[in-house]
């Protein structure tokens, strides 16, 4: 299967995916890295790995849907079967999500449904939880509400800071995400209602 990674920032998870592909821990083909930011370091990582890139500026489009349709045209051209989000900070239009139903994976730095949104590490730390974690889930039209594929807990230690907790979470993300992508690519995930089973 062919897939694309969408990233807006540093691309730490993208690098973990590229590394997993090199040792055949993901049995799929990364055909495109997409970004909405020209300065995203993820694009540098992609080019170093000789992965084609696409960078479109949302400001050049009148609406979110117009931007998404332009991206979709590139995905169709590259015959992309599924999408992996790796720190992509734009919300998708309904049209985009309906174009790839249950074929868009995302990783979230908390144990959903707790601490949804873009500041989940900070929110969990400030709340004072003793355990947080990582969730890989499908994207649906409601934010951070798709069916859970994999989760792994991360303990919050008494000496942790928000920064040290973020680093611990990222290490888990880099291990869990390639595993989830490979399971999806090999048809090992069965979605029934809101429940995902590994088969």
Among candidate residues 50, 75, 100, the one where a domain is terminated = 100
In this structure, the answer to whether residues 111 and 57 fall within a common structural domain is no
Q: Which residues carry out catalysis?
A: 108
Task: Convert the pLDDT of each residue in 112-160 to its tens digit.
Answer: 999 999 999 999 999 999 999 999 999 999 999 999 999 999 999 999 9
13-24: average pLDDT: 98
pLDDT interval class at 176 (50, 70, 90)? very high
DSSP per residue, 89-132: --PPPHHHHHHSTT-EEEEESS-TTSS-STTHHHHHHHHT-SEE
Check residue 54 and give its pLDDT.
98
Cα maximum dimension of the chain: 50
DSSP per residue, 24-89: TSS-SEEEEEEES-TT-HHHHHHHHTT--EEE--GGGSSSHHHHHHHHHHHHHHTT--EEEESS--
The H or E element that residue 173 is part of is helix 162-185
Task: Convert the pLDDT of each residue in 67-88 to its tens digit.
Answer: 999 999 999 999 999 999 999 9
Among candidate residues 100, 115, 130, the one where a domain is terminated = 100
The CATH number of whichever domain residue 188 belongs to comes to 3.40.50.170
Quote the Cα angle for 191-70-11, to 5°: 65
Q: Report how many domains make up the chain.
A: 2
188-196: average pLDDT: 96
**Contact residues for 102 (Cβ-Cβ < 8 A; gap 6+):** 138, 147, 191
Check residue 151 and give its pLDDT.
98
3-29: average pLDDT: 97
């Amino acid at each position: 299967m062919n897939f694309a990674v969408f990233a807006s920032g540093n691309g730490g998870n993208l690098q973990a995916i590229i590394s997993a592909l090199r040792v055949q821990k993901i049995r799929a083909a990364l055909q495109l890295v997409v970004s909405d930011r020209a300065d995203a370091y993820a694009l540098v990582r992609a080019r170093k790995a000789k992965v084609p890139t696409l960078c479109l500026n949302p400001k050049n489009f009148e609406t979110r849907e117009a931007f998404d349709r332009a991206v979709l045209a590139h995905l169709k051209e590259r015959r992309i079967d599924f999408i992996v989000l790796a720190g992509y900070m734009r919300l998708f239009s309904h049209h985009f999500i309906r174009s790839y139903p249950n074929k868009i994976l995302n990783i979230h730095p908390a144990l959903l449904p707790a601490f949804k949104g873009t500041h989940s590490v900070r929110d969990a730390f400030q709340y004072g939880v003793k355990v947080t974690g990582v969730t890989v889930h499908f994207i649906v039209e409601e934010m951070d509400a798709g069916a859970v594929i994999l989760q792994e807990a991360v303990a919050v230690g008494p000496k942790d800071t928000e920064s040290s907790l973020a680093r611990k979470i990222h290490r888990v993300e880099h291990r869990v995400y390639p595993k989830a992508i490979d399971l999806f690519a090999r048809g090992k995930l069965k979605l029934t209602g809101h429940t995902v089973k590994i088969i």
